[in-house]
Amino acid sequence: MNIKEALRIYFIMGSNNCGSHEPLDVLQQAIDGGITMFQFREKGDDALTGEAKKQFARDCFRLCKQANVPFIVNDDVDLAIEIGADGVHVGQDDLDAGVVRQKLGSDKIIGVSSHTLQESKAAIEAGADYIGMGPVYATTTKLDTNPVAGTKAIQETRQHFAQFPIVAIGGLQADNFAPAIEAGADGISIISAIASAPNPKEATEKLASTMKEVINDAK
């Protein structure tokens, strides 16, 4: 798998991010619209727990598998192992990437959230396969985020790690993500721009077409 390409349009979603939409329908529309990776993030107010969370994860994984879209679980290593997910994403306050690697094995994807060059370096040394950097802009989806970082940390990390996969995070929309790609990110992670859109498929198609334009302009 080419992780840089898989990070292009990286959709993150839980059942509580979809408003009045049916979550599995949102995911299917996002897949049809062209997402390249999916992260299952069932956290926060009104999130599913226990067996309901596991069943929802399995249903999401089934849709992703049918479309050959890599399926990543946020933070919950045990769930990822139980359902056979393609990988795990952890934050700075979650398990160390090295510990996650020991639990998952060498053939799974590990992503780590990073806000500084120092955190990126530590994640890479611990065995991460990609880093998620930001928040580029303010976001209301995650209430526990760090202060807005803009694109400076992405640029610094790219200068030090020329080929390492980086995905930008935080408040990204079709009309504002170009600076993150220009700074060195390989892709963008999206929650509300897809999950809260009136038509998730059209929103995803717009993100994907804009990404092609931005990448072509950056060459």
Half-sphere exposure of 11 (CA within 13 A, CB side): 36
- 109 CB neighbour count, 10 Å cutoff: 22
What's the pLDDT score for residue 218? 74
Chain-centroid distance, C-alpha 158: 18
Non-local CB neighbours of 111 within 8 Å, separated by 6+ positions: 39, 72, 87, 88, 89, 90, 128, 129, 130, 131, 132, 167
As annotated, the active-site residues are: 41, 113, 142
List, for residues 138-181, the tens digit of each pLDDT value. Answer: 876 655 566 788 899 999 999 999 999 999 999 999 999 999 99
Non-local CB neighbours of 150 within 8 Å, separated by 6+ positions: 136
Chunked into runs of 10 residues, the chain (219 residues) has average pLDDT values of 96 95 98 98 94 98 98 97 98 91 95 95 96 89 69 95 96 95 97 96 98 87
Q: Give the global pTM.
A: 0.95
List, for residues 92-105, the tens digit of each pLDDT value. Answer: 988 899 999 999 99
Checking 61-66 for CB contacts under 8 A at 24+ apart, the result is 61/85, 63/24, 63/27, 63/28, 63/31, 64/27, 64/31, 64/38
> What is 65-118 written as a DSSP string?
HHTT--EEEES-HHHHHHHT-SEEEE-TTS--HHHHHHHH-TTSEEEEEESSHH
